[in-house]
Amino acid sequence: MRIVCPFCGERELGEFTYLGDAKPQRPAADAGEDAVYDYVYLRDNVAGPMSEHWYHGGGCRAWLKVTRNTLTHEISAVEPAAGAGAAKVGA
């Protein structure tokens, strides 16, 4: 498997580390225990396209948001995760 890093170009899997589901959003401080429990522990076991966080630690050290089909490993989109590259996101 290869991932096309938006900063570095196409690279082998060995340069990346998988974090997991990119969907969960940190709940507000007053959201309550159930919301925090969901955020920390509950994950969908997706069969198909899934939004995931990957870290290009063996390259530019940017966090990426990768859309990967968990059935075929086909990658349909890669974009910088929020905060990766001060100019690109959240500037």
Partner 1 sequence: MAEFSWDVRSPLDRALIAGSYGAQGDAGVALTEIRDFDLVQVMARRGKAAEMVKAAQARFGIAAPETPKAVDTADTALIWSGPDQFLVLSKGGKHTIEALAAAFVGSASLSDQSHARALISISGDKARAMLAKLSSIDLHPDKFRVGAAAATSMDHTSITLWRGKDRADGQPVFNLLVFATFAESLWHTILDSAAEYGVTITHSEKLA
Residues that bind partner 1 (CB under 8 A): 7-9, 11-12, 14-15, 57-62, 80, 83-88, 90-91
Which residues are paired to 66 by β-bridges?
52, 78
- What is the x/- site pattern for Zn ion, positions 3-22, by CB under 5 A? --x-xx--------------
| 81 neighbors 22 (Cβ within 8 angstroms) | yes
DSSP SS3 for 14: helix
- 38-67 residues in contact with Zn ion (CB under 5 A) are 56, 59-60
Which CB sits closer to Zn ion, 50 or 66? 66
| 55 neighbors 64 (Cβ within 8 angstroms) | yes
Instruction: Compute the least distance from the CB of residue 53 to partner 1, in Å.
Output: 16
| 56 neighbors 91 (Cβ within 8 angstroms) | no
Q: By the criterion CB under 5 A, which residues form the site for Zn ion? A: 5, 7-8, 56, 59-60
